[in-house]
Amino acid sequence: MKNITGPPVKGDELKFRDKDIKEMISRLADGNSILLTGLRRIGKSSVMMGVEHNAPADWGIFYHNVEDKRLPSDLFSLFLKSLSEKDYEKLLKTWSHLKTVPSRTINLLKQSFKSLDAGGAKVELNQEIIDYWHPLTTGIEQVIKEKKTPVILILDEFPFFIEHMLQDGISKQIVEELLGLLRIWRGRHDHFRLLVGGSISLDHILAKWDIQSSVINDFSRYFLPPFTKDEAFALLEELSIDSGLDWYDREKIEETLCLLGDYYPFFIRSFFREIKIDNGAKPLGVIFENYFIPSIQRGYFDQFSERLKKHYAPEQKKVAKEIFTHLSRQPGFMAPYSQLRDVASEMALSDDFQLDELLADLTADDFLCFQPGTSQYQFVSVLLGKWWKMTRGF
């Protein structure tokens, strides 16, 4: 068994997600589109790829990661790249016969596969697609309509794509049109479905930009949970056997899980990598603090730091950092709303509405979570709390 710690885990290396994959394929088979949610580094991309790999052979199913896409033309190009050569040629003929799409635009689309990486060509193509949106999308819908078997588009990190468009100046109207079109296609053609997911909340982005939730309210929601403790134990046990670490026994596995506190596949595999490199020379606690935590800095913690830096106003950042510091000092890294309100008041953020907005953003961005049973806020992962405490010197 390989210990994959960077790219998504695929094939036989993907453990304990069979049930999730089968359930999502079943929902897609029943005609549902799916919004996959789950915490950062929980393995959503791996599961999406697992759906693509295990779907029925006669499905037209296409996986695309759209995290770095920023323009409507980017998504449009992915539509085209999901077509067979035969369907693509048929589509070009359809556009030519419509007489409403200029030959210049069609030629740009033909060239896009070779020249889309060039900035000028990309911007020019984007404007052409916006200008001739309706006839162009009518042609694509015709291709979808003629299909006899399911057409499934998997869009990984789709919320980031929507957010990037809005932040980069693409009008809310165009974004609503794009989302509305996908909703119309899903409604008109039972065999056209989407599987979308990402590390930030699509619902929250739409609400923040005042975009109607009706564009996605037909999605079936699926939350991908962390591993259970038994699954986490079994993964570490299998990794240790395959790596020949005879000294890494059940007691050491229990200690590893206690140090982690969170049973995310990425954390488990990353910590085991450092354990294997050390090969028993140092205590697990030392490996955890001095090697494992730094090893996931870029792949996990820096994502939170960057999100806080780029998406929060200066006053919000100051209050958020004080809230994080307060939580890092509490047992279980959790505290009731009243304590967070006191922290905000000391920072001159006395308006409860402003605090509620900030907490909603921090929850949607997976910094914090709210526990209804205890009515307390806490870090979304134990590791995030430990990292904040360690790096702030408490």
Q: Does residue 307 fall inside a structural domain?
A: no
Specify burial of residue 197 (Cβ count, 10 A radius: 0-12, 13-18, 19+).
buried
Which of 166, 195, 223 finishes a domain?
223
The pair of three-digit structure tokens given for residue 50, joined into one six-digit string: 């697992």
17-26: string of b/e by CB count within 10 Å (b at 16+)? beebbeebbe
Does one domain contain both 67 and 126?
yes
Does one domain contain both 331 and 239?
no
Report which of 52, 76, 47, 50 is spatially closest to residue 63, judged by C-alpha positions: 52
């790249």: which residue's tokens? 81
Give the pLDDT score at 125. 80
271, 260 contact by CB (below 8 A): yes
Give the pLDDT score at 120. 44
Can you tell me whether residue 392 is helix, strand or coil? Answer: coil
Beta bridge partners of 220: 34
Does one domain contain both 63 and 206?
yes
Give the pLDDT score at 1. 60
The CATH number that applies at residue 336 is: 1.10.10.10
Q: Does residue 374 fall inside a structural domain?
A: yes
Can you tell me whether residue 62 is helix, strand or coil? Answer: strand
DSSP labels for 161-216? HHHHHHHTT--HHHHHHHHHHHHHHHHH-TTEEEEEE-SS-HHHHHHHTT--GGGT
Does one domain contain both 187 and 287?
no
Report residues of the chain scoring pLDDT below 50: 116-120
**E-strand spans in the chain?**
34-37, 60-65, 151-156, 192-197, 220-223, 334-336, 368-371, 376-379
Does one domain contain both 267 and 378?
no
Does one domain contain both 168 and 233?
no
Does one domain contain both 284 and 195?
no
Distant-in-sequence, close-in-space partners of 165: CB < 8 Å, separation ≥ 6: 70, 71, 72, 174, 175
340, 323 contact by CB (below 8 A): yes
Q: Say how many residues make up the chain.
A: 394
Q: Does residue 303 fall inside a structural domain?
A: no
Cα–Cα distance, 331 to 202 (Å, whole number): 31
Cα–Cα distance, 140 to 354 (Å, whole number): 44
Does one domain contain both 189 and 270?
no
Does one domain contain both 54 and 122?
yes
Sheet containing 376-379: order of strands: 334-336, 376-379, 368-371
The CATH number that applies at residue 191 is: 3.40.50.300
Is 0.85 surpassed by the pTM of this model?
yes
Does one domain contain both 148 and 271?
no
Q: How far is CA 129 from CA 76, 92, 134, 270, 280, in A?
A: 8, 14, 9, 43, 59
Q: Does residue 41 fall inside a structural domain?
A: yes
Q: Does residue 248 fall inside a structural domain?
A: yes
The pair of three-digit structure tokens given for residue 206, joined into one six-digit string: 């739409």
Q: Are strands 376-379 and 334-336 parallel, antiparallel or unpaired?
A: antiparallel
Tens digits of residue pLDDT in 6-44: 667 888 889 999 999 999 999 999 999 999 999 999 999
99: number of Cβ within 10 Å: 8
Does one domain contain both 26 and 91?
yes
Which of 163, 193, 223 finishes a domain?
223
At 292, the amino acid letter reads: F
Report which of 60, 59, 65, 75 is spatially closest to residue 8, judged by C-alpha positions: 65
Q: Does residue 356 fall inside a structural domain?
A: yes
Could you tell me the residue range of the domain that residue 372 belongs to?
A: 312-391
144, 189 contact by CB (below 8 A): yes
Q: Does residue 12 fall inside a structural domain?
A: no
Distant-in-sequence, close-in-space partners of 104: CB < 8 Å, separation ≥ 6: 128
Number of domains in the chain: 3
Does one domain contain both 234 and 198?
no
Give the pLDDT score at 107. 82
If phi > 0 it is left, if psi is from -120 to 50 it is alpha, else beta; for residue 192 that is beta
Q: Does residue 5 fall inside a structural domain?
A: no
Which of 186, 202, 223 finishes a domain?
223
Give the pLDDT score at 116. 43
Give the pLDDT score at 393. 59
